[in-house]
Amino acid sequence: MIFDTHAHYDDEAFDNDRDEILSGLGSNGVDYVVNVAADMKGIESGAALAEKYPRVYSSAGVHPSECADLDEKDLEIIREAAALPKTVAIGEIGLDYHGDEPNREQQKFWFKRQLEIASKCDLPVIIHSRDAAQDTMDILKEHRVRVDGPQGVIHCYSYSSEMAVMYVKMGYYIGIGGVVTFKNARKVREAVAILPLERIVLETDCPYMAPEPLRGERNSSLNLPFVAAQIARIKNITTDEVINVTEKNAENLYGIH
């Protein structure tokens, strides 16, 4: 069965058929999904989905692009959400330097504050990092969030294979989604080739990042077999092996058994 470690089913793209998709996950070969929060509203909506659907879990955290207006009251809400029975991670949090706002110092400040919450709650983190490779690495080296167990996952991995190996040594899993099927995704494929399968987890980031041959369409967990098949080709193993091992990895990452 497939484990989708990173989805956004509270997105308006699923307003017309959300219940149909989430109610039918099991019959379509998907065991679990983690609905990942990106902003304060998403923390609440993700928790509601987790409460309603047995196969759905949630996270609590604020994406770096949404952190400009955060305050201490918001951090308290994140802490409260982290204590819910089906909250399995703090995220997605991190750094995004693709644009100019919020400024980098704001992003670093709220990234570190949310890492502190993860540490106090003993939860893994879901890391978003775009055009911010070195700063992300430096901060995570300084802020180990858990004494035992997985530190978290580097979501939608896009950096070098060498850096992926460094993250694995630090206790992180590497999230691989539809991008690995794109023709221009050389770095991602190199990372998949060098990493042990036991440190890779599958993700969609749906409704975004649909794999080939569905690129540009709305993504969903049902498309993850395309991602698993590409990983299998890169590593010269079977698709079933990719699906089975990555599910065990995800269960270990999020503590779901």
Tokens representing 70 are 């955060």
The owner of tokens 């609440």 is: 44
User: Can you give the CATH number for the domain in which 41 is found?
Assistant: 3.20.20.140
- Is the predicted pLDDT of residue 207 greater than 90, yes or no? yes
- Is the predicted pLDDT of residue 101 greater than 90, yes or no? no
- For the chain, the domain total comes to 1
Q: Report the DSSP pairing between strands 172-176 and 152-154.
A: parallel
pLDDT tier for residue 233 given thresholds of 50, 70 and 90: very high
Q: What is the mean pLDDT of residues 166-179?
A: 98
- Is the predicted pLDDT of residue 12 greater than 90, yes or no? yes
- Whether the CA torsion 161, 167, 169, 172 is positive or negative: it is negative
Q: Which pTM was predicted?
A: 0.97
Neighbours of 20 (CB within 10 A): 9
DSSP state, residue 146:
-
- The stretches of the chain forming alpha helices (DSSP H) are 18-23, 40-52, 72-82, 104-121, 133-142, 161-170, 186-194, 224-235, 239-254
Q: Please compute Rg for the chain using Cα positions.
A: 17
- Can you give the residue range of the structural domain that contains 83? 2-254
DSSP state, residue 206:
B
Cα(31)–Cα(128) distance, rounded to whole angstroms? 24
- Is the predicted pLDDT of residue 100 greater than 90, yes or no? no
Which pLDDT value is given to residue 235?
98
